[in-house]
Structure 1
Amino acid sequence: MRQRTGTGGRVRRAATAAAALLAATSLAAGCGDDDAQDTPAASSPVPSASPSANPKSTLLAAVPDEEDPAFRFSGSDPTGVVTGVVDPAGKGMDLTLTEKDEKLGFTMKLSFRLIEQRSWMKVSFDGADELSSMLKLPKKWMELDHAKLTDPASVPYYEGADPGNAGAILRAAGDTVTDQGGGTYTGTVDLTHGEHVRQAVADALDVDALGPAAKQVPFTAVVGADGNLTSLTLEIPAAGKNKATKYVVRYFDFGKAPKITAPTGSQAQKAPASAYELLNG
């Protein structure tokens, strides 16, 4: 895994900037409710055979890398849910964050298509279709010029085949990994163990707020019969005013997901000024 802070984290920061602008404007006044939500896709891994001699190495080998075919992923944590497709061969990724504003009564879907250092964005509003025209946002893919962003790093680009940072997290498991059989592995991770793992969860968790508990966060990982990591779940303990929660990454449909291609022709255009206003807040 070579993510710095995680592609999902970048999408959430972009969504936060967009949501801040929407909340500050009167354009959303009177928008109706919409209870539609994207549900993260789940997979049904086939249990693997007998326990492995080196369970940690087995887990790390199962983490997606640049040699894998295109696959789907989903990730959820206290900040929301991200879903998408990763195409390692094409160095591309599609991902969508769905965020509902309970006060204003609409759901924003912020999608990105990434191919190497190029980024396209698409925004839609369920329950408030008029917002797209009122905000002067086209419904097609908008290619972004990172030089026009207040913080270019806040918008994602392709950084590798492990958007959920599973590799960085599992490397912080030390010698605690236990093979439970049937493709299931358990153990604990030390989220304070170096900047790599801290950055992996920085956008989702306040490691310092967890106190001593951050050094032994329980996890469960599942590897399918095809040798691919199917899921990684961290059981985040309660800390201060924060309730206990989970950090979940799922990888599935290896070889079945579509390849990522650049949107062309009538599918795309250069991002207008309104798109940068939305992202820059």
Structure 2
Amino acid sequence: MTQRIGTAATIRRVAGIATAVLAATALSAGCGFISGTGSTGTGSTPEASASADPKAALLAAVPAEDGPGFRFTTVDGTDKIVGVVDPAAHAMELGLTQENEDPKFTMKMTFRMIDDKSWMRVELKGIPGLHEMMKLPKRWMALDRTKLHDPTDAPVYEGTDPANAAAIIRTADTVEDKGDGTYTGFADLTRGQEVATAVDGVDIAALGEAAKKVPFTAVVGADGNLSSLTLDIPAGGKQKATKLTVRYYDFGKAPKLSEPTGDEVQKAPTSAYELLND
């Protein structure tokens, strides 16, 4: 699942391109290589009686701008994005780690967004000198939106629901309160672009009519906040059945986010924009 425009979708796309470019560069350079080297805190759920309006109750549990900061993870097939949302600072950070086998190295790509400002950091392990070969610094890189082919793709802060859980829940005609903080329903993935973007890795057309009734399970924690939402995507076309899961956790305990300063940041070099603009 991804954020509305340009955040998780961008990092997933760029990370895939970057890994391929890094692998090709390492191989063409003929360099040797060596092997490189949060809990979700479920807590207890409330034992409340069934809600009078389960759908409204579930939507009310989705993180809001006036709520505390939190951590999140989204698992979309084999991709796992981790991040932090800091509503008070209008800030979000998200990262994705990918491993390449031939040659063997690990890349972690992280974006930090505060309002409309964005920074990117790339960490490479497993091949000595790969940062230098790719001309990618190890520090945070401040991004200039005007240097992107499509500035609307630049990651920016877009609110407190990075997985678009609310958009998915709204498509359900009815939601059932199962008790103990658990809710179930059926999402219609064909209802609008925001929902389609939320499941950008899913071939909705291949699902046919099944896309209009995708089962989901949501859990609300004892603190009243949505702690997880899982979509059970059926098989369709060449697409295997899979689960898409988001977890929101550590409400009030997540780190505060601020702009990188001093020696920890520099302007993004041309090599960074080459990855983003590919």
User: Per the shorter chain, which TM-score range?
Assistant: over 0.9
1:130-157 CA-to-partner distances (Å, cap 9, x unmatched) read 2112112111111011111223333311
Residue identity opposite 1:182 in structure 2: D
Question: What is the match of residue 16 of structure 1?
Answer: 16
Cα pair 2:214 2:232 within 8 Å, conserved: yes
Question: What is the match of residue 159 of structure 1?
Answer: 158
Structure 1: segments with no counterpart, 5+ residues: none
For the pair 1:31 / 2:28, whether they are aligned, the reply is no
Across the two proteins, how many residue pairs are aligned to each other? 274
For the pair 1:264 / 2:261, whether they are aligned, the reply is yes
Normalized against structure 2, the TM-score is what? Answer: 0.92
Cα pair 2:229 2:246 within 8 Å, conserved: yes
Cα pair 1:114 1:158 within 8 Å, conserved: yes
Paired with 2:206 and 2:64, the residues of 1 have a C-alpha distance of 32
Percentage identity across paired residues of the two chains: 57
1:61-105 CA-to-partner distances (Å, cap 9, x unmatched) read 011111111110000102611101100110001111111123332
Distance 1:22 1:155, change over 3 A: farther
- The offset of 1:273, in angstroms, is 1.4
Distance 1:28 1:157, change over 3 A: farther
Question: What is the match of residue 188 of structure 2?
Answer: 190
1:7-40 CA-to-partner distances (Å, cap 9, x unmatched) read 3112112213323422443248543344x5xxx6
Distance 1:274 1:6, change over 3 A: closer
Bigger CA drift: 190-199 or 149-158? 149-158
Bigger CA drift: 22-31 or 107-116? 22-31
For the pair 1:206 / 2:203, whether they are aligned, the reply is yes
Question: What is the match of residue 100 of structure 2?
Answer: 101
Cα pair 1:43 1:230 within 8 Å, conserved: no
Residue identity opposite 1:117 in structure 2: D
Question: What is the match of residue 248 of structure 2?
Answer: 251
- The offset of 1:125, in angstroms, is 1.2
For the pair 1:55 / 2:54, whether they are aligned, the reply is yes
Question: What is the match of residue 222 of structure 1?
Answer: 219
Distance 1:50 1:140, change over 3 A: same
Aligned to 2:159, the other structure's residue is in SS state coil
Question: What is the match of residue 172 of structure 1?
Answer: 171
Structure 2: segments with no counterpart, 5+ residues: none
Cα pair 2:120 2:140 within 8 Å, conserved: yes
Distance 1:174 1:213, change over 3 A: same
Cα pair 2:111 2:121 within 8 Å, conserved: yes
Paired with 1:244 and 1:107, the residues of 2 have a C-alpha distance of 28
Question: What is the match of residue 148 of structure 2?
Answer: 149
Counterpart selection for 2:228 from 226, 231, 250? 231
Cα pair 1:143 1:270 within 8 Å, conserved: yes
Normalized against structure 1, the TM-score is what? Answer: 0.91
Paired with 1:200 and 1:70, the residues of 2 have a C-alpha distance of 21
Residue identity opposite 1:87 in structure 2: D
Paired with 1:106 and 1:242, the residues of 2 have a C-alpha distance of 28
Bigger CA drift: 83-92 or 43-52? 43-52
Paired with 2:33 and 2:178, the residues of 1 have a C-alpha distance of 50
Paired with 2:152 and 2:108, the residues of 1 have a C-alpha distance of 20
Cα pair 1:178 1:185 within 8 Å, conserved: yes
Paired with 1:119 and 1:5, the residues of 2 have a C-alpha distance of 14
Aligned to 1:89, the other structure's residue is in SS state helix
Aligned to 2:64, the other structure's residue is in SS state coil
1:216-256 CA-to-partner distances (Å, cap 9, x unmatched) read 11111000111100000001111122211111100001111
